[in-house]
Amino acid sequence: MKEVQPIRDTKKIDAMKSIMKGESNYRDLLLFVLGINTGLRISDILALKWSSLINGGGRLLKAGDQLNVVEIKTKKIKSFMINRSVAEALKLYYDALANVNPDDPVFSSRKTDDGSLQPITRIAAWQMLNRYANMVGLNEGIGTHTLRKTFGYHLYKKGVALEYIQKMLNHSSPAITLRYIGITQEQLNDIYVELNL
């Protein structure tokens, strides 16, 4: 299996989001935006229920609200603030739905024989992501883990301290985080060349 990479080009990210909006695929848009803006693992994204995105008063979370997710892999609580991009994608999707049951999965696929909704599978999420990636010219190195890697990569490029990114991704060392987010030796060499004290 080939290692997936982050989406480094923000124009490609914007193009993917535009296609999803243009096709009114708001579920796909929310999944994509949530992944690249929170660093959640795909298993945690797919496990979300509407009850976690609607506060106690029945109001949809908005920018600046806190979301708490119990990570499936680590069993730790990951708390983070919803940003404007996630809030906008969430509202688009929520408003497009006729009815929302708090116990239903956010990223539902179809009803089962007993009438309950099931979340889409990891494979369906991978297929969705690859379809949009291919449409913007990203033809290799894309997978569901790309979302989490894109989150870390763009934090790093914005100057967020590596130690913070390491903590946000729950990695054991900065070296693992650098490798994980796809920072290459060539990029590190460019830093040496640009220093020129």
- Annotated catalytic residue 122: no
Selecting among 17, 27, 148, 154, the annotated active-site residue is 148
Segment 108-134 shows an average pLDDT of 88
- Annotated catalytic residue 179: no
Specify the pLDDT at position 183: 76
- Annotated catalytic residue 145: yes
Selecting among 17, 26, 27, 41, the annotated active-site residue is 41
Of 41-55, 156-170, 177-191, the range with the lowest mean pLDDT is: 177-191
**Helices 26-38 + 145-157 axis angle, to 10:** 50
Q: How far is CA 169 from CA 45, 51, 99, 133, 173, in A?
A: 15, 24, 34, 23, 10
Q: Tell me the pLDDT of the chain averaged across its residues.
A: 90
Share of the chain above pLDDT 90, in %: 66
Whether pLDDT at 188 is above 90 = no
Specify the pLDDT at position 132: 97
Segment 112-120 shows an average pLDDT of 80
Share of the chain above pLDDT 70, in %: 94
Question: Which structural domains are found in the chain, ordered by start?
Answer: 1-197 (1.10.443.10)
Selecting among 132, 153, 156, 180, the annotated active-site residue is 180
* pTM greater than 0.75: yes
Segment 119-123 shows an average pLDDT of 94
- Annotated catalytic residue 73: yes
Selecting among 17, 145, 149, 154, the annotated active-site residue is 145
Selecting among 17, 27, 149, 171, the annotated active-site residue is 171
State both tokens at 34.
Answer: 């949530």
State both tokens at 85.
Answer: 């991009």
Of 46-55, 109-118, 143-152, the range with the lowest mean pLDDT is: 109-118
142: left (phi over 0), alpha (psi -120 to 50) or beta: beta
Higher pLDDT, 109 or 126: 126
